[in-house]
Chain A
Amino acid sequence: AQSVSQHNHHVILSEAASLELGCNYSYGGTVNLFWYVQYPGQHLQLLLKYFSGDPLVKGIKGFEAEFIKSKFSFNLRKPSVQWSDTAEYFCAVNAGSGGYNKLIFGAGTRLAVHP
């Protein structure tokens, strides 16, 4: 069965620090990959997505992610975080023929950014 692992459950950073959140998935075929963000008290919003092509994907609010097929990874990065980036971040994968209908989510990483 497909699965998604997020290595860090809680991350605490100071403003202007760099961010990298790890995400690994288990599936050997074609995948679509996503990062969603959930700000406190809000619903999930799409940060960025990868379907094909350039493995370095840029999203909203200065976030980017790199798809490394050989490592089954899709790590999220931001060079300089802001207090407003405090949120929970979820990696998700949509895999395989017939599986395009379903997303598998990781457990989430809760990010706290201190001023």
Chain B
Amino acid sequence: NAGVTQTPKFQVLKTGQSMTLQCAQDMNHNSMYWYRQDPGMGLRLIYYSASEGTTDKGEVPNGYNVSRLNKREFSLRLESAAPSQTSVYFCASRAAGLGRGEQYFGPGTRLTVT
């Protein structure tokens, strides 16, 4: 049981390049989330998927797109990276019903945009 996994762990992009961050969970959770973590700002929600087939914007969605590929996988895409997107990105998942609100986090992807 690996929990929440993310790839890659590190990435360096040039301004304007695109990339997709991958996230998968093996806990049969319904909801999945993408956050970015910046110093002094905590975690901010980018997008979330309450269930397979649905996605919704969070607090800071501009410059990102997401795909809930199936129940296990939730990817985050940067179409044209900008230096302001330099951050650590965390994926999380949550089971519906019992334990509402409790989220389980992946190890993170450290992205640098030059």
Give residues in A with beta carbon < 8 Å to B. 4, 6, 9, 32, 34, 36, 42-46, 49, 51, 90, 94, 100-108
Contact = CB atoms under 8 A, between A and B. Distances in A.
Contacts of B35: 105
Contacts of B50: 101
Contacts of A106: 42
Given A34-B102, A43-B107, A94-B101, A101 B48 contact: yes
A9 B108 CA distance: 22
A9 B104 CA distance: 24
Interface of B: 31, 33, 35, 40-45, 48, 50, 58, 90, 92, 94, 100-108
Given A42-B107, A43-B108, A44-B90, A100 B101 contact: yes
Contact of B105 (A43, A49, A104, A108): A43
Given A100-B100, A101-B50, A102-B48, A107 B105 contact: no
A107 B41 contact: yes
Contacts of A44: 43, 90, 92, 105
Contacts of B103: 103
Given A32-B101, A100-B101, A102-B58, A107 B106 contact: no
Given A43-B106, A43-B108, A44-B90, A105 B42 contact: yes
